[in-house]
């Protein structure tokens, strides 16, 4: 009897371990689709909008990237926007108009590899593409990195932090983003050794202090995907004094950002600029 129980237990244990290993391997195999689902959405090719137009620039590793530009005549401000993982630049023309009006700025919607081509998106690849977008703004309008407001939403927040840490910015705005993407994945899959196997980590909290400029963090208290504790940790980790965390009561991860919140972000950047010390 004991021998049969041991054999049954061994079979169950073997099946359980095998199943677990297969699930972990599947998550590793499909990590790219889980982190960058927008790259696998089928949408129409972008067309020039009422105010925006398609612009092309080349990344440092030779890839052609198509962003969307809203050029505002007579403005002195420039915003580089980096979108979330389930979006695409071609779907964000209305948001570009909101940003342009709020900041009185020319706005470039950065796009990522894999989202409009057949390349595979990766953390380093996305950051490289955002570098190219910033270089395009600088070369086209004769400006410097320090003239550009970097604005990252959700996944794009990690790109924004990496970009600010490597070249600076006029200001860094982080909307509904994380302290580290690997931490978010660990919460979603607590039974998987995510920190050991995840390749696309976006560890913003480890990079944020390589940037010394103003930081505005916007986050909803009802964000179901990225808990409010994440931006609070990121805000607390920032060593500089030019920082603000704007907590929006009731806002969810995919909810519409209130206009007064966007106005508060703009006003905060102006206040930081008016007090350089």
Domain boundaries, the chain: 36-274
Q: What are phi and psi of 75, to 5 degrees?
A: -85, 160
Q: Could you give the CA distance from residue 217 to residue 136 in angstroms, rounded to a whole number?
A: 25
CATH architecture of the domain with range 36-274: 3-Layer(aba) Sandwich (3.40)
Task: Count helices and strands (H / E) in the chain.
Answer: 10, 8
Tokens 């505002």, residue?
72
What pTM did the predictor assign?
A: 0.93
Q: What is the pLDDT of residue 101?
A: 97
Q: Could you give the CA distance from residue 255 to residue 269 in angstroms, rounded to a whole number?
A: 23
Q: What is the pLDDT of residue 14?
A: 80
Q: Residue ranges of the alpha helices (H) in the chain?
A: 2-29, 31-35, 93-103, 123-141, 155-165, 181-188, 194-197, 204-207, 229-237, 259-274
Regions in the chain scoring below 70 on pLDDT: 1-3, 5, 8-9, 43-49, 277
Read off the pLDDT of residues 200-230 as tens digits, 9 standing for 90 and up. Answer: 999 999 999 999 999 999 999 999 999 999 9
Q: What is the pLDDT of residue 64?
A: 95
What is the torsional sign of CA 194, 199, 204, 209? positive
Q: What is the pLDDT of residue 29?
A: 84
Q: What is the pLDDT of residue 44?
A: 63
Q: What is the pLDDT of residue 265?
A: 98
The overall longest dimension of the chain from CA atoms, in Å, is: 87
Q: What is the pLDDT of residue 27?
A: 76
Strands 52-58, 148-153: pairing is unpaired
């Amino acid at each position: 009897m004991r021998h049969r129980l041991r054999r049954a237990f061994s079979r169950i244990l073997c099946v359980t371990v095998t199943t677990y290993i297969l699930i972990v391997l599947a998550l590793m195999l499909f990590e790219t689709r889980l982190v960058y689902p927008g790259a696998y959405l089928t949408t129409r090719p972008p067309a020039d909008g009422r105010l925006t137009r398609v612009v092309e620039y080349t990344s440092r590793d030779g890839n052609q990237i198509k962003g969307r530009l809203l050029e505002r005549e007579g403005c002195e401000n420039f915003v580089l926007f980096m979108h979330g993982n389930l979006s695409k630049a071609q779907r964000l023309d209305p948001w570009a108009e909101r940003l342009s009006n709020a900041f009185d700025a020319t706005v470039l919607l950065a796009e990522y590899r894999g989202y409009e081509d057949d390349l595979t998106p990766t953390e380093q690849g996305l950051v490289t593409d955002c570098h190219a977008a910033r270089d395009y703004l600088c070369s086209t309008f004769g400006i410097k990195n320090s003239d550009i407001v970097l604005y990252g939403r959700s996944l794009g927040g990690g790109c924004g932090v990496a970009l600010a840490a490597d070249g600076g910015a006029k200001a860094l705005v982080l909307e509904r983003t994380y302290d580290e993407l690997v931490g978010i994945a660990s919460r979603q899959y607590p039974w998987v050794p995510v920190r050991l196997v995840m390749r696309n980590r976006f560890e913003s909290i480890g990079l944020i202090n390589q940037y010394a400029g103003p930081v505005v963090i916007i986050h909803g208290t009802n964000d179901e995907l990225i808990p409010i504790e994440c931006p609070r940790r990121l805000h607390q980790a920032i060593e500089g004094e030019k920082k603000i965390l704007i907590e929006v009561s009731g806002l969810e991860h995919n909810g519409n950002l209130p206009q007064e919140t966007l106005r508060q972000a703009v006003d905060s950047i102006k206040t930081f600029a008016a007090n350089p010390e």
